[in-house]
Amino acid sequence: MSEGEHKLYDERGQFMQAVKDGREIRDADWTTCRVVLTTDRVVLIGDEKRSVTIDALEQVNDRFDVNQAAAVEGSYTALKTEGTVFLVTTPDQGAFETALYKASLNNGILLVQHPAVEGGVIQDVEWTKAKVKISEEAIRLAVADGQKVTIDRNDIGDVDTDERTIDGQDRTVYEVEHTEDDRSVETHLTGEPHHTAVMGALLEEGVERHRANLDLDGVEKQVIMALHTGVSPFDIPEFVDRDVERVEEIFDRLIEYDVIEVERERTEVALTPEGRQVAGETIGDG
């Protein structure tokens, strides 16, 4: 390893080269290998050694099913560089991916707007540099203006992307909805291409942890929207014009689906990330 480079992950696994020189390899198959991740690169050691430089990553996809052998694999990480895609699977895919996020982002410098949106209201804040630190639990940002911003990886309600020109440079911006002091906020993040390639995968992984796969009726969505806009749980029956017993049944169902959670008393509830995601989708549908 080069000076300053150190190992973050070392485990037996498999890889498949799905794209070489820009061409998909339809007959590619999995090869057993040793997967070594350092602060600089991913090294795949099998019949020969293959290496992917972290700073060369253009995209980190969760799926790139080039053929049936790839499609039937339950979990892998797709590493895309110019003209090349490697699929990598390990016994603990989550641990490997978190190590990859750390390798790419830890101590990197991002541009941050925080809070860009607070309580649904756009805030007039400037882009500011921030140093990023990734852990199993959170994305932590030390902002140049002194702010300490923490985005809980279990509390990412939704992520949108936008293309903007910032300081004369075209950039991909991630708009991340999460909570701060029990209020909904958006933090906007961008950076160099090799940072945003991995940041996108990290944020989408957070969304997928909580993506609601629900079949909610109109009244249940009204309850979610009422909570999202600040209506007290005790006022919900009158707000949605339903009796208390019906609203209690709705609360039970939404708690079961992990859309709301009990805070103090039985009917004192608040939206979870999944619930905020449903609320955002309902607003969009409207």
Domain ranges of the chain: 7-91, 109-209, 218-285
Q: What's the CA gap between 203 and 164, in Å, rounded? A: 19
- SS3 of the chain: CCCCCCEEEEEEEEEEEEEECCEECCCCCCEEEEEEEECCEEEEECCCEEEEEHHHCCEEECCCCCCHHHHCCCCCEEEEECCEEEEEECCCHHHHHHHHHHHHHCCCEEEEEEEEEECCEECCCCCEEEEEEECCCEEEEEECCCCEEEEECCCCCEEEEEEEEECCEEEEEEEEEEEECCEEEEEEEECCHHHHHHHHHHHHHHHHHCCCCCCCCHHHHHHHHHHHCCCCHHHHHHHHCCCHHHHHHHHHHHHHCCCEEECCCCCCEEECHHHHHHHHHHHHHC
- Report residue 210's pLDDT band, with 50, 70 and 90 as the boundaries: low
218-228 vs 273-285: helix crossing angle, rounded to 10:
110
- Output the CATH code of domain 218-285: 1.10.10.10
Measure the CA angle with vertex 95, ends 177 and 273; round to 5°: 20
Between 224 and 20, residue with greater pLDDT: 20
Predicted confidence (pLDDT) per residue in 118-154, tens digit: 988 999 999 999 999 999 889 999 999 999 999 998 8
- Report residue 264's pLDDT band, with 50, 70 and 90 as the boundaries: low
Q: Check if 7-91 and 109-209 are the same fold.
A: yes
Name residue, tokens 């608040």: 270
Q: Are 158 and 188 in contact (CB under 8 A)?
A: no
**What does the pLDDT read at residue 59?**
86
What is the CATH architecture assignment of 7-91? Roll (2.30)
Which fold is adopted by the domain 109-209? PH-domain like (2.30.29)
**What does the pLDDT read at residue 48?**
92
**What does the pLDDT read at residue 261?**
76
**What does the pLDDT read at residue 123?**
94
Predicted confidence (pLDDT) per residue in 6-30, tens digit: 999 999 999 999 999 999 999 999 9
Structure tokens at 146: 């002194």
**What does the pLDDT read at residue 211?**
57
